[in-house]
């Protein structure tokens, strides 16, 4: 190395580029909002993607029993392998295998939450300057993780009028030589969409044609309402290599346990030479997730009764129906009925709410007047929608929907009341906002 003299005279310590580029848009949008609830009304937060917050949904007893058992055995306090205990990986492999996509312990890497899994996958597949394709609207962490290490996030459009299916030509148009991966999220946060087998096959065709691997974010696997079917992407392809990521977080209602995983689906050994090894090496940076939870995984996956899942889903689906029904009746709002996960997106016809520039101002006003907080879809890089979380207790949801109705009826302007187009100051027509 060319040795230089230390020239600083005073203390000045800067943060690295990675630190500066690690940026959570939700945090900064929400922090930038003026959120002062109406003191006359109790706050209802439909914003928090944490199903455990209200206490109505709770971890399965079997998971608690499994964890206490692991603790009492006093064998799981030491270091585990950085990819996770063999028996835990084997249990995840069995849980994730399908007749067409059969995996075993060596194909599984346990991580610190599904976020940790996404971090490893993105970091392993993409170099600075390369790009990954991510859905819009989509979960914000994809972009956060990518841009943190100088990887560009390119958004492919989802279509609300087609239950948020991917705009396939748009997706394909974004692929170039520097495209390292496509992230597909079904069931989806924030959309609640669940893609059909046919639609997933269409996406896979594009990946196959362009030889781009897929990161399938399936943290909401099996989280689908009646009438929909869940298809793991890896079960639908013989050719496209897929890193499927999931974890205990959502289905077992334990976000805080921070237990996620990567399943390497790679029937043609395309990940064999480099990616598999790369993921393993990266897992050594923090030495795996909590070993007690790891040790409990086989029991959690085996012993949790079907009724636990179906009860959760029934509850969320009935909330979805209830919310969709009420909101559908509100002039100016357009809810998109979800087929799974635990969210609903609601469009705002901004032209009819001329007081507000955009979804951020709309949701701000909803807080100050009605003490109901929903995330503006700007948080998901999508304009003029807001997201409702469907895991809140039903009474709260009913109350929230009533307040939203009241809010809209106060602020909705009919066509004839809308001021002349030239004077509309909201961003409904501001194209620059969309791209």
Q: Is 97 in the site for ligand PLP (CB under 6 A)?
A: no
Q: Which residue carries 């009764």 as its tokens?
A: 305
The contact pattern for ligand PLP, residues 276-295, with x = CB under 6 A and - = no contact, is -----------x--------
Which of ligand PLP, a second copy, none lies near 190, with the C-beta cut-off 5 to 8 A by kind?
Answer: none
Stretch that binds a second copy, among 99-107, 221-229, 273-281, 418-426 (CB under 8 A): 273-281
CA torsion angle 182 215 264 51 (round to 10): -170
Among 194-202, 265-273, 319-327, 374-382, the segment contacting a second copy (CB under 8 A): 265-273
Question: CA separation (Å) from 68 to 71, 112, 293, 300?
Answer: 5, 20, 10, 12
User: Residues touching a second copy: how many (CB under 8 A)?
Assistant: 97
How many residues make up the chain in this entry?
Answer: 435
**Smallest distance from a second copy to CB 80, Å:** 6
419 burial type by CB count under 10 A (0-12 exposed, 13-18 middle, 19+ buried) = exposed
Which of 137, 213, 335, 338 is close enough to bind a second copy by CB under 8 A?
A: 213
Nearer to ligand PLP, 21 or 290 (CB): 290
Is 27 a binding residue for a second copy by CB under 8 A? The answer is yes
Inter-CA distances, 420 with 414, 430, 433, Å: 12, 16, 21
> Rounded distance, CA 160 to CA 147, Å?
26
- Residue 309 and residue 222 in contact, taking contact as beta carbons nearer than 8 Å: yes
> Which of positions 228-247 make contact with a second copy (CB under 8 A)?
239, 241
Identify the H or E element spanning 121: helix 113-125
Binds 320: which of a second copy, ligand PLP, none (CB < 5-8 Å by kind) = none
The stretch near a second copy (CB under 8 A) out of 15-23, 91-99, 158-166, 226-234 is 15-23
Nearer to ligand PLP, 255 or 347 (CB): 255
Q: Which residues contact 166 (CB under 8 A, 6 or more apart)?
A: 135, 156, 157, 158, 159, 184, 195, 199, 202, 203
Nearer to a second copy, 171 or 350 (CB): 171
How many residues make contact with ligand PLP (CB under 6 A)? 14
Q: Is 381 in the site for a second copy (CB under 8 A)?
A: no
Residue 225's binding partner out of a second copy, ligand PLP, none, with CB under 5 to 8 Å set by partner kind: none
Residues 6 or more apart in contact with residue 322 via CB below 8 angstroms: 394, 397, 398, 401
Q: Contacts with ligand PLP in 121-150 (CB under 6 A)? A: 139
49 binds ligand PLP (CB under 6 A): yes
Task: Choose from ligand PLP, a second copy, none: what does 185 bind? Cβ within 5-8 Å by kind.
Answer: ligand PLP
Task: Output the CA torsion 110→115→119→121 (10° steps).
Answer: 60
Q: Which is nearer to ligand PLP, 19 or 287 (CB)?
A: 287
CB of 102: closest distance to ligand PLP in angstroms? 24
- Is 219 one of the binding residues for ligand PLP (CB under 6 A)? yes
Is residue 255 at the binding interface for ligand PLP, with CB under 6 A as the rule? Answer: yes
Q: Which two tokens stand for residue 161?
A: 């009028």
Residues 78, 99, 161, 432: which binds a second copy (CB under 8 A)? 78
Q: Which of 247, 289, 332, 347 binds ligand PLP (CB under 6 A)?
A: 247
Backbone angles phi, psi at 185, to 5 degrees: -125, 100
Separation of alpha carbons 302 and 65, rounded Å: 12
- Judge whether 356 and 365 are in contact, CB under 8 Å: yes
How far CA 302 is from CA of 140, 204, 218, 341, 379, in Å, comes to 32, 31, 19, 22, 36
Q: Which residues of 292-321 are buried (b: 16+ CB within 10 A; e: fewer)?
A: bbbbbbbbbbeebeeebeeebbebbbebbe
Q: Does residue 410 interact with a second copy by CB under 8 A?
A: no
- Rule CB under 6 A: is residue 374 a binding residue for ligand PLP? no
Structure tokens given for 260: 């996620």
217 binding a second copy? (CB under 8 A): no
139 binds, among ligand PLP, a second copy, none (CB under 5 to 8 A by kind): ligand PLP
For position 291 contacting a second copy by CB under 8 A, the verdict is yes
| Interacting residues toward ligand PLP by CB under 6 A | 49, 113-115, 139, 185, 189, 217, 219, 247, 249, 255, 260, 287
């Amino acid at each position: 190395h060319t040795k230089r003299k230390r020239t600083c005279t005073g203390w000045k310590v800067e943060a690295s580029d990675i630190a500066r580029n690690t940026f959570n848009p939700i945090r900064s949008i929400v922090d930038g909002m003026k959120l002062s609830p109406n003191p006359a009304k109790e706050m209802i937060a439909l914003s928090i993607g944490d199903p455990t917050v209200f206490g109505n949904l709770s971890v399965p007893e079997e998971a608690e029993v499994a964890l206490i058992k692991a603790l009492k055995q006093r064998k799981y306090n030491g270091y585990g392998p950085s990819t996770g205990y063999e028996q835990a990986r084997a249990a995840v492999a069995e849980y994730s295998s399908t007749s067409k996509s059969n995996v075993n312990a060596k194909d599984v890497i346990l991580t610190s939450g599904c976020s940790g899994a996404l971090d490893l996958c993105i970091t392993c597949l993409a170099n600075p300057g390369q790009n990954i394709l991510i859905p819009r609207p989509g979960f914000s962490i994809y972009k956060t993780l990518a841009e943190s290490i100088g990887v560009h996030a390119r958004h492919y459009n989802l279509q609300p009028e087609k239950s948020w299916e991917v705009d396939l030509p748009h997706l394909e148009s974004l692929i170039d030589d520097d495209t390292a991966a496509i992230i597909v999220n079904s069931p989806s946060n924030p959309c609640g969409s669940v893609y059909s087998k046919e639609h997933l096959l269409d996406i896979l065709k594009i990946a196959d044609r362009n030889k781009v691997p897929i990161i399938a974010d399936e943290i909401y696997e099996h989280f689908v309402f009646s009438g929909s079917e869940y298809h793991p992407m890896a079960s639908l392809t013989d050719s496209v290599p897929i890193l499927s990521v999931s974890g205990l977080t959502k289905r077992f209602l334990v976000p805080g346990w921070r237990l996620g995983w990567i399943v390497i689906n790679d029937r043609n050994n395309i990940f064999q030479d480099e990616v598999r090894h790369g993921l393993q090496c990266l897992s050594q940076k923090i030495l795996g997730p909590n070993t007690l939870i790891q040790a409990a995984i086989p029991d959690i996956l085996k012993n949790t009764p079907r009724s636990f899942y179906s009860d959760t889903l029934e509850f969320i689906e009935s909330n979805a129906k209830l919310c969709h029904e009420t909101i559908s009746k509100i002039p100016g709002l357009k809810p998109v009925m979800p087929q799974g996960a635990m969210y609903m997106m609601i469009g705002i016809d901004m032209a009819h709410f001329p007081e507000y520039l955009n979804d951020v101002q709309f949701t701000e006003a909803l807080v100050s007047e009605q003490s109901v907080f929903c995330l503006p879809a700007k948080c998901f890089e999508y304009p003029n929608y807001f997201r409702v979380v469907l895991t809140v207790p039903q009474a709260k949801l009913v109350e929230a929907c009533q307040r939203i109705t009241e809010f809209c009826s106060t602020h909705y302007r009919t066509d004839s009341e809308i001021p002349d187009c030239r004077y509309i100051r909201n961003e409904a027509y501001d194209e620059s906002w969309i791209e």
